[in-house]
Amino acid sequence: MQTQFQFINDCLIEHQPLWRFEPFQSSIQPSLPWQETHPQLCQWLESLSPSQIENLKADSDLALDEISVFLPDLPSLLRHTQLESMALDGLALERGLDSGIPGRKLEQIMAMGEAAIQSHQGEEWLEWCSGKGYLGRILTTQTDQPVTSFEYQQALCDSGQQA
């Protein structure tokens, strides 16, 4: 698992300009933040028609094939991040714990929480990019273990404190 983690870590560090930016802020700029490091990728992205974009969104294999031309590590990264399916029974939440969580997001958080609980071997939780802390609340109420949550966006932290 250490080798797998190291590969993922190295890929993320190497390709930070591609994912570590604020898209809505960057969209008002004349060029993409990775223009200098990935000019061919930028040219390809800018050449896509709306229908091509829809096709890529609908066909992840096609998207992987086309993007891999510019990011050769992508297929390996995908293999390293694939997880085996787990049988989930569903969690019984305390009354009101799901308050404010939209339906689809609640389903995702409950599935993630249950899968994490099944594999958990520690005595506490670290919730990274915690948003409003919904997952952390589920983890702590299901396991009676403390959760430390990290979130960069202050507005999400404030909103989570009030939920």
For residue 137, which of 163, 118, 111, 155 has the smallest C-alpha distance? Answer: 163
For residue 98, which of 69, 55, 141, 66 has the smallest C-alpha distance? Answer: 141
Number of structural domains the chain divides into? 2
Parent domain of 75: 2-19+33-81
66 and 126 assigned to the same domain: no
What average pLDDT does the structure give for the chain?
A: 88
Compare 78 and 153 and report the one with higher pLDDT. Answer: 78
Q: What is the pLDDT of residues 27-62, one digit of tens each?
A: 666 777 788 889 999 999 999 999 999 999 999 999
Residue 87 lies in a domain: no
Residue 90 lies in a domain: no
Q: What is the pLDDT of residue 140?
A: 94
What is the three-class DSSP state of 126? strand
| The residue type at 10 | D
- For the segment 18-23, the average pLDDT, to the nearest whole number, is 77
Residue 89 lies in a domain: no
- For the segment 80-96, the average pLDDT, to the nearest whole number, is 88
71 and 11 assigned to the same domain: yes
Q: What CA–CA distance (Å, rounded) separates 29 from 23?
A: 10
67 and 108 assigned to the same domain: no
73 and 114 assigned to the same domain: no
Q: What is the pLDDT of residue 20?
A: 81
Q: What CA–CA distance (Å, rounded) separates 62 from 6?
A: 27
